[in-house]
Amino acid sequence: MSPHSDRARALLFVADPLESFKTYKDSTFAMMREAAKRGYTLMACEPRHLRWQQGQPVTASLRIIELTGATEEAEGWFRTIEAPTDFALRDAHAIVMRKDPPFDSEYFYATHLLGQAEREGARVFNKPAALRDHPEKLSILEFSQFIAPTLVTRQEADVRAFHALHGDIILKPLDGMGGMGIFRVGSDGLNLGSIIETLNRGGAQTLMVQKYLPEIVHGDKRVLVIGGQPVPYVLARIPQGSEIRGNLAAGGKGVAQPLHPRDREIAQALGPELARRGLLLVGLDVIGHTLTEINVTSPTCFQEIMQQTGFDVASMFMDALEAALR
């Protein structure tokens, strides 16, 4: 089937290579499966396949795929039914930007190409400008009533003063993902100088410092907000052993839990405003009663919540996407 034959039912997913998907837990795969169930044509490309030539619309060398129903990646979970072809992004019914972090220069350029496609008539979720305007760690500072004491700086003296004030702190790079580069320094200040040097690279790189939250032992909760409304369950990612990081990529154990009243309070305060800005899907990270991160690039945990609670997050996402397109 050519995407030109049924524009109204064609969804383009801009994502990582399909061959790299871990389908048992991949949220983009869950979105695709629900979209296919609703009769949409599935198209896929990577950011490197986007193209914009003078005097022409933004295009992508994409492939049309269909799902095979296989449950394991090795069995081949998709098949290509049309070879890569140059396609004007404005001709898709909707584009879902699902490239995983890091948010590097190439990601930044991709949002500009997608922004141009928007000006040509494409509908992109999450909105490219909103992706640029909401760095996932910095964005929490706009909602300071919900966060722990936080500092963003390049200066070693600032970090040392913050440590002297709060004693037990967390340091992390602004562009980290999956728990990478996160350090804890206790009241003894052990290795603080070395950690600062590692993260700020002699003052060349900005880092974030936060007061340590002991509630992390109960999990770093992922609160999904779709179309401004919270999913009724969270995934608490609980650190294992001596780890301080709950991230699943760092070995954390994911446990689905009902939405806590405080989680709901935070989600209802932020959700409608973030949706108004063009963020259809957001993943709020909450430790205890405290907001720690606002994830906007490719929030996950759809399948873990579905598998443990039966709540169909992908269906809620597709409902919100279809409502936004009306």
All structural domains of the chain, each given as residue ranges with its CATH number in brackets, are 3-133 (3.40.50.20), 149-212 (3.30.1490.20), 215-325 (3.30.470.20)
Lowest mean pLDDT among 108-117, 173-182, 275-284: 173-182
Spatial CA neighbour of 3 closest among 94, 87, 103: 87
Q: Is the pLDDT of residue 1 over 70?
A: no
Rounded average pLDDT over 248-256:
81
Q: CA torsion sign, 79 to 83 to 86 to 91?
A: negative
Q: pTM of the predicted model, to two decimals?
A: 0.93
Spatial CA neighbour of 275 closest among 320, 223, 218, 211: 320
Q: Is the pLDDT of residue 6 over 70?
A: no
Rounded CA-CA distance 259/131 in Å is 26
Which residues are part of the catalytic machinery?
137, 172, 222, 237, 245, 285, 293, 295
Residue 311's φ and ψ, nearest 5 degrees, are -75, 125
Q: Is the pLDDT of residue 179 over 90?
A: no
Spatial CA neighbour of 172 closest among 142, 227, 135: 135
Q: Is the pLDDT of residue 281 over 80?
A: yes
Spatial CA neighbour of 63 closest among 87, 93, 94, 98: 87
Residue 7: its pLDDT value, please?
53
Q: Is the pLDDT of residue 253 over 70?
A: yes
Spatial CA neighbour of 247 closest among 221, 229, 266, 224: 221
**pLDDT tens track for 55-93:** 999 999 999 999 999 877 767 999 999 878 899 999 999
Q: At what angle do helices 313-325 and 27-37 cross, to 10 degrees?
A: 60
CB 271 within 8 A of CB 116: no
Residues 6+ apart with CB under 8 A from 9: 39, 40, 41, 93
Residue 3: its pLDDT value, please?
42
Spatial CA neighbour of 244 closest among 223, 222, 208, 220: 220
